Structure 1
């Protein structure tokens, strides 16, 4: 199945009503007044935000809202930096001031059934921006949306400066475990130790200077962007992987999008983002690898998949070094500086649920995407038999022709 929507707007025929706002703080003071350093890579990614939305049908939708909110009180004790607010040191370097200000909670409902929202999920995670007064803006916000069919969506809006998609997914998994009556996670390392940075030899090609929405940590849009969501079945994924001789479905699916988009806009370098895995000894931070690859002369699916899998030049350290080069970090855009492929295949978003009921569907998108576009690949829902969910954010003028290109490729006609 496929749909298209402007990234954070609600399409015609759908609406959200009865919004109610509140704030949840830790049950006990935790980290009060403690400064938490933002590493150089955190600062390089600070103009981006992640949105994760978990959809539940059946009995999970009947859990009362107070019961949904209750786990956050103990959860925020080990995850206390999620309650912090941004401050700027005298040198101009931002850091987190842990003052237990809490996370924002939004409650809302839709008179439409849940299945109409599966491919238009971004509005179901709160539209929160760090700014214009960044000192008071929450790093994390949660939205509970109830649907006319009795379903429930739990949406997480997560500042990328706080951590990557794996960190966001671990936060969500800890919440669901506690909602099911399990104890909060044991105290673990707060952040991965920062590695020493090599000198910046040449500017990385996977980022570019970004303009911000005035006073905020959000990249100003270069163009009107549109997100296409494809729910690709396992049979189509297997066929692509066989044609591409790819080691992973991610490489095969990404190669298909790259080839189709090149027919529309021409060939250009791409960025490939991978994560260090969800099994970590720390709870926050960006442990990702950012590689850049030049387009090959041969645009066959197999060659494109090979380049994505094996021919990327790692620029992660160079991006961090660029952010560290000045006391006040530069405004950078990474997602969409080039066409950017994001590998979330191993993200355990279907591993935890509500009362033993796993999510019916999970979506994940990125805010602040540049004009090069962004492709996020996740595992498909249970029952998809090895399928993949593919979110493709591109300039609006490219969305319709790209959809036409990809529908037969993904076996969705």
Structure 2
């Protein structure tokens, strides 16, 4: 067995920032919703075969990034705290951390292992703190495989923006790499927020307050968390829909039907009281904030009812609840954050069992020399003990067996994972090859 430390080797560190210097004394104050997400981190790995990486030098990559960060100069700053303790970004052009490495396997060999836990070697797992002024909110890692293929790993502090913003961020780098230019204006830093009007103190269900973490921004889990991923083909999804809805044309979308099944499976294996309330995060098609960074995703609570037993509920009922009965809690979350002037610590992913609908992400729009990624892997670091389920598209251009479908990443307590896999197999979501 090859040891993990020998798979990815020869790491080299540097920094890359804006090609144009930012003026002095420029500061960006994250909004309340940004602060609610500050203990979470997005990890994305893009895999490209050798045709896309041919003649792609580190110098060419960095040259494009100098232009790229002229627009995204805020992401190259470092966090500080105001006198009140509220975090803000000093836009001082310290840059994103840039990591180069080599891999002893070919890209096909890496993907053939189907061991997504190894993907943690392809993007940085660094978090903000414990020294804020030395912690970059963005880290980029290029790994060259033995065959000439590459991976690009993005480590993105969620306080900068949601997953949909992160996908636009990385895709804009691809546009510069392809000499397409950017039709956008650089982000205008937010000023210190005005104190909000005090309303009724209604604590959100979808964001959980925790004891202060200080300057080390990571969720303190009480359980050891594990990550597991699997691919669902279109045939499997069609079979799932048929199981739930029969011949009826009045079906919920695949995301809600899939999450209903997973919700019930988790309820069956969870030793403590079953998860009667879940959180659903998804793209907001009506977002009013046009900033190029920021957290705009919809965050809804869905309550199964105190007297209902999730294990015994009809999947059609659960799926319909997920689609139609979510209550948007963003305003309550913002009010809870501002109640303490942005100083208190909260987390969202894993406060309840959390389902994240990533159908609207466009990570597969990233192109190098006209080639889209062979595969994109996503996960979230800093998920609370209740766990999170990410559902995102399988590459439509994939020619492997001519299948598409969805890819699912589950971050759940390690103690539940074995029994949950058995439940997924029983219900046709997991096949032997996974």
Tell me whether the two structures share a fold, i.e. TM-score over 0.5. Answer: yes
Residue in structure 2 matched with residue 353 of structure 1 by the alignment? 367
Give CA deviations for 1:342-398 in whole Å, capped at 9, x if unaligned: 111110111121111111111111111111000011011233644001000001111
Quote how far apart the aligned CAs of 1:153 are: 0.9
Structure 1 spans left out of the alignment, 5+ residues: 1-9
Confirm or deny: 8 A CA contact 2:393 2:405 kept in the other structure.
yes
Seen in structure 2, the aligned counterparts of structure 1 residues 208 and 71 have a Cα distance that, compared at 3 Å, is same
Seen in structure 2, the aligned counterparts of structure 1 residues 100 and 67 have a Cα distance that, compared at 3 Å, is same
Quote how far apart the aligned CAs of 1:69 are: 2.2
SS of residue matched to 1:282: coil
Residue in structure 2 matched with residue 29 of structure 1 by the alignment? 21
Quote how far apart the aligned CAs of 1:214 are: 6.1
Residue in structure 2 matched with residue 119 of structure 1 by the alignment? 116
SS of residue matched to 2:35: helix
Give CA deviations for 1:134-186 in whole Å, capped at 9, x if unaligned: 12210111011122333211111111111000111001000111111222343
Seen in structure 2, the aligned counterparts of structure 1 residues 32 and 355 have a Cα distance that, compared at 3 Å, is farther
For residues 252 and 324 of structure 2, the distance between their equivalents in structure 1, rounded to whole angstroms, comes to 10
Count of aligned positions: 404
Quote how far apart the aligned CAs of 1:278 are: 11
Quote how far apart the aligned CAs of 1:219 are: 1.3
For residues 311 and 172 of structure 1, the distance between their equivalents in structure 2, rounded to whole angstroms, comes to 33
SS of residue matched to 2:71: coil
Seen in structure 2, the aligned counterparts of structure 1 residues 56 and 213 have a Cα distance that, compared at 3 Å, is farther
- TM-score (normalizing by structure 2): 0.86
Give CA deviations for 1:266-288 in whole Å, capped at 9, x if unaligned: 34211111122599842100001
Confirm or deny: 8 A CA contact 1:166 1:278 kept in the other structure.
no
> Of the two, which has the highest radius of gyration?
2
200-209 or 225-234, which deviates more: 200-209
Confirm or deny: 8 A CA contact 2:71 2:187 kept in the other structure.
no
Confirm or deny: 8 A CA contact 1:374 1:393 kept in the other structure.
yes
Seen in structure 2, the aligned counterparts of structure 1 residues 316 and 380 have a Cα distance that, compared at 3 Å, is same
SS of residue matched to 1:350: helix
Match of 2:42 among 31, 50, 62: 50
For residues 314 and 153 of structure 2, the distance between their equivalents in structure 1, rounded to whole angstroms, comes to 38
Residue in structure 1 matched with residue 67 of structure 2 by the alignment? 74
114-123 or 58-67, which deviates more: 114-123
SS of residue matched to 1:378: strand
2:292 is equivalent to residue 283 of structure 1: yes
Confirm or deny: 8 A CA contact 2:164 2:360 kept in the other structure.
no
Seen in structure 2, the aligned counterparts of structure 1 residues 51 and 336 have a Cα distance that, compared at 3 Å, is same
Residue in structure 2 matched with residue 250 of structure 1 by the alignment? 255
Residue in structure 1 matched with residue 423 of structure 2 by the alignment? 405
For residues 164 and 431 of structure 2, the distance between their equivalents in structure 1, rounded to whole angstroms, comes to 29
2:14 is equivalent to residue 17 of structure 1: no
Quote how far apart the aligned CAs of 1:190 are: 4.0
For residues 78 and 267 of structure 2, the distance between their equivalents in structure 1, rounded to whole angstroms, comes to 41
Confirm or deny: 8 A CA contact 2:387 2:413 kept in the other structure.
yes
Seen in structure 2, the aligned counterparts of structure 1 residues 335 and 200 have a Cα distance that, compared at 3 Å, is farther
**Which structure shows the bigger proportion of residues in helix conformation?**
2
